[in-house]
Chains A and B, each alone.
Chain A
Amino acid sequence: MTATNTLLTVDGIELKEALRRNQARQKRKAFLLVAPLLLFISVGFFLPIMDMLRRSTENRLIVENLPLTIVALSEWDASSALLPGEPAFRAIAKDLVKAQKLRRATQLGQRLNYELSGTSSLFRTSGRKMAGLIPEAEKTAYKETLIEFDQRWGDIELWRVIRRFSGSVVADYYLAALDMKRDFETNEVEILPREERVYVRLFGRTVMISLWITLMTLLLGFPIALLIARLPTRQGNLLLVLVLLPFWTSLLVRTTSWIVLLQQQGVVNDILVAVGLIGEDARLRMIYNTIGTVIAMTHILLPFMVLPLYSVMKNISPSYMRAAISLGAHPISAFWKVYFPNTIPGIGAGAIMVFVLAIGYYITPELVGGRTGVFISNRIAYHISSSLNWGLAAALGVALLIIVITIYWIYDKFVGIDNIRLG
């Protein structure tokens, strides 16, 4: 048969075409059902992430407010030991006057202060006075006038920083997020001295504590899920409600009650002292540190481990265990070789859920983490609400996003994402 044999319906329409028309209606319906959520997600989730990506590299504040300076500095060799010439000083004076009118000078100084401390106050004072200095500077020279007004204008580092940040896209927030900086003289990337490194260690700690929390929820959740799955429905449901009970209590209440329990003058310590297990002077430090974060977050995230485990276990037929035992396996060996492997999809689902929730957790580590138990998200929040370094906060956020995606990828590679089952 050489001719292509297209199937026709009774009406003579091509079968594929008829089927397509048939399904188009259904697809339209399906799309309409999804549309509100799609809109919500793109506005509430996708766009903010895009914005975060943009902010982590943007440099608009400097580029827009120092246009003349950037042009004037373009000729200057930053690696030379000489200050830039008169035109650059004149340009920055003009730029500052304009920025002051727009009330941006202080903001600009704060931005440059991330790169070179002291710049904030320099820009604040100079911004206020600059308009008054210009007539004199016009008569003599801008360079001398400015340096006379504040000698920090004669610091070559300041000019190198401005020169460095004259592009519209910069990677320096990411360098900061990875505890690195650029030497503005040689333009080389170097790692910060040990005592100044913050973020890499914090990322490492966040991942480690999250892994601990995941492990703890698994160790505590597995037997409970097993018990609930094996109990008769009535009792099982009752236990399940108890497991879910924390969900119905405010997160803050749960977290602060751990403070009450675990602090040094708290319930647990009081009991231990009263029983005589520890001395009055040796009360345990169980809160405001890593232990506190692990305990409180294990408690809070436990249901996310128990639920997928339970729903997977509920679907494992009890006859598997019976079959394994009847085939001669000791009950313990039957459990490990037959029952346990079938719970892995539930373990995977629970572990990923707990880990991903933990790694981005904010409120609980903030309240009970103290100095050693805080997460990267607490640092991000600090940069957003206190230091106002949104660019760095965005870069840290992107780094966190990359870590989560990487872990997801590793999981998919070695366990397989299809292996996740919620029931």
Chain B
Amino acid sequence: MDNENFVEFENIQKSYDGESLIVKNLNLSVKRGEFLTLLGPSGSGKTTCLLMLAGFEAPTAGNIKLEGKILDSIPPHQRDIGLVFQNYALFPHMTVVENLAFPLKVRGMQKEDIDKKIDQTLDMVRLTKLRSRKPAQLSGGQQQRVAVARALIFDPKLVLMDEPLSALDKNLRDQMQLEIREIHEQVGITIVYVTHDQAEAMTMSSRIVVFDDGIVQQVDPPTKIYEKPRSAFVAQFVGENNCLDGIVDKVNGQTCTVELLSGEKIQTKNSDNSPKGTQVLVSLRPERVKITKSEKGLDGCGNIVRGKLKEKIFLGDKMRARFNACQKENFVVNVTNKEGGEKAIETEPGQEMWLGWSVDDCCALQKGKK
């Protein structure tokens, strides 16, 4: 079996009203055993993709293949695809055990096999003690574990998760992210995960698909998505970012000089190989910028600008500083809190500082490219 193309979306289009497309020409393949996350703002078409894969929505055009077979004609209950919902969708009139037994019973499994399988699964999600409770008697995190267990217990070909953690509070969400990742590693099953939370996508995925407006912007592992965003949208959506407007002034091989709106000239990687005169956004991560009181501390930085410190925000692990620089009111710089207290930035707001970063830490992306 072809492990690279376990699930294939081929030229998928989806429209609900015949007037606008929710998904515009999606081509995507999912590898066997990988944890693939569909990341995008709400309304970007990611949940629709999931529903089409599960069989609850039919593609308006194109094919979805699972293990090389076109799924079109297979009704959802025969697809063998586990589904975890945002609201868990545990059956409220059944206990934990009955919920878990449901997919096994409809498959006509023997009672002893069902019991064995349930015991194993409960053990895996550490819910053995709560086996005879009803969902309403469980906490959100416990319900979510049951929902994950129920989607896994019948050994489906793949499991789809639609923002399964969005109803949990932050601490529990972080913990559940790790648990789901652990289960994925243990079981080795293919998971397609939908979220709008980029930190969650980073934590869990082998690969991330960034969606916007029904179009796939980038499909890459988390590090590449963060370090080498392929479009201005990805750069802005994943992680914090300073985006500086400008026009390409001169191209020098892999890099180029961009003249910002403020008139400053910046050396940057030319990611899109834009020719001279192109309107670009220069993307710069806040943690890559060094700040000093005098220009001397910035040796080795390819780009140096002056900015006025407007505000300091202490965030515990880091200090966030907002500058007025390059004609941007909101030029953000993050400084890691290594020395404790206010030492990360001792300058008071209102004073001028020097900001510097290396050429490799920023990139010029074409504006409006999809």
Residues of A within 8 A of B (CB): 317, 319-320, 322-331, 333-334, 337-338, 341-342
Which one of B83, B86, B91, B107 contacts A326 once the chains associate, using CB atoms below 8 Å? B83
The answer to whether B89 and A342 have CB atoms under 8 Å apart is: no
Which one of B77, B79, B83 contacts A334 once the chains associate, using CB atoms below 8 Å? B77
The answer to whether B106 has its CB under 8 Å from any CB of chain A is yes
User: How far is A342 from B81 in the complex, measured between Cα atoms in Å?
Assistant: 24
The answer to whether A319 and B85 have CB atoms under 8 Å apart is: yes
The answer to whether A323 and B77 have CB atoms under 8 Å apart is: no
User: How far is A337 from B91 in the complex, measured between Cα atoms in Å?
Assistant: 10
Listed by A's residue number, 28 A-B pairs whose Cβ atoms lie within 8 Å are: A317-B89, A319-B86, A319-B89, A320-B89, A320-B91, A322-B54, A322-B76, A322-B83, A323-B85, A323-B89, A323-B90, A324-B91, A325-B77, A326-B54, A326-B77, A326-B79, A326-B81, A326-B82, A327-B82, A327-B102, A327-B151, A327-B154, A328-B103, A328-B106, A328-B107, A328-B154, A330-B106, A341-B93
List 5 A-B pairs, minimum CB-CB distance, nearest first.
A327-B103, A326-B83, A323-B89, A319-B89, A329-B106
Chain A contacts for B85, CB-based, 8 A? 319, 322-323
Chain B contacts for A330, CB-based, 8 A? 77, 106
User: How far is A319 from B92 in the complex, measured between Cα atoms in Å?
Assistant: 12
Q: Interface size (B, Cβ < 8 Å)?
A: 26
In this complex, what residue of B is CB-closest to A338? B91
The answer to whether B83 and A324 have CB atoms under 8 Å apart is: no
Which one of A319, A322, A327 contacts B106 once the chains associate, using CB atoms below 8 Å? A327
In this complex, what residue of B is CB-closest to A319? B89
A-B contact count (CB 8 A): 65
User: How far is A190 from B92 in the complex, measured between Cα atoms in Å?
Assistant: 54
Smallest beta-carbon distance A191→chain B, Å: 46
Smallest beta-carbon distance A423→chain B, Å: 16
Chain A contacts for B76, CB-based, 8 A? 322, 325-326
Known: A320-B89, A322-B85, A327-B103. 15 other contacts (CB 8 A): A317-B87, A319-B85, A319-B87, A323-B85, A323-B90, A323-B91, A325-B56, A325-B76, A325-B77, A326-B82, A326-B83, A327-B106, A328-B106, A328-B107, A331-B77
In this complex, what residue of B is CB-closest to A339? B91
Q: Mark B146-164, 1 if CB is under 8 A from A, else 0.
A: 0000110010000000000
Which one of B80, B86, B87, B92 contacts A328 once the chains associate, using CB atoms below 8 Å? B80
Q: Could you tell me the dominant secondary structure of chain A's interface residues?
A: helix
Q: Mark B121-164, 1 if CB is under 8 A from A, else 0.
A: 00000000000000000000000000000110010000000000
User: How far is A317 from B83 in the complex, measured between Cα atoms in Å?
Assistant: 15
Chain A contacts for B103, CB-based, 8 A? 327-329
User: How far is A333 from B78 in the complex, measured between Cα atoms in Å?
Assistant: 13
Interface residues of B in 39-80 (CB under 8 A from A): 54-56, 76-80
Smallest beta-carbon distance B164→chain A, Å: 12
In this complex, what residue of A is CB-closest to B84? A323
With A322-B56, A323-B85 as known contacts, state yes or no: A328 contacts B91, CB within 8 Å.
Answer: no
Which one of B89, B90, B92 contacts A322 once the chains associate, using CB atoms below 8 Å? B89
Interface residues of B in 174-232 (CB under 8 A from A): none
In this complex, what residue of A is CB-closest to B100? A327
Smallest beta-carbon distance B248→chain A, Å: 49
User: How far is A334 from B76 in the complex, measured between Cα atoms in Å?
Assistant: 12
Interface residues of B in 106-123 (CB under 8 A from A): 106-107
Chain B contacts for A326, CB-based, 8 A? 54-55, 76-77, 79, 81-83, 151
User: How far is A169 from B85 in the complex, measured between Cα atoms in Å?
Assistant: 67
With A322-B56, A326-B77, A328-B77 as known contacts, state yes or no: A342 contacts B92, CB within 8 Å.
Answer: yes
Smallest beta-carbon distance B86→chain A, Å: 8
User: How far is A323 from B102 in the complex, measured between Cα atoms in Å?
Assistant: 10
Smallest beta-carbon distance A384→chain B, Å: 46
Chain B contacts for A322, CB-based, 8 A? 54, 56, 76, 83, 85, 89
The answer to whether B150 and A327 have CB atoms under 8 Å apart is: yes
Smallest beta-carbon distance A179→chain B, Å: 44
With A317-B87, A319-B87, A334-B77 as known contacts, state yes or no: A324 contacts B102, CB within 8 Å.
Answer: yes
In this complex, what residue of B is CB-closest to A320? B89
Chain B contacts for A319, CB-based, 8 A? 85-87, 89
Smallest beta-carbon distance B294→chain A, Å: 57
User: How far is A323 from B79 in the complex, measured between Cα atoms in Å?
Assistant: 13
Q: Which of B87, B90, B106, B107 has the most CB of A within 10 A?
A: B106
In this complex, what residue of B is CB-closest to A341? B93
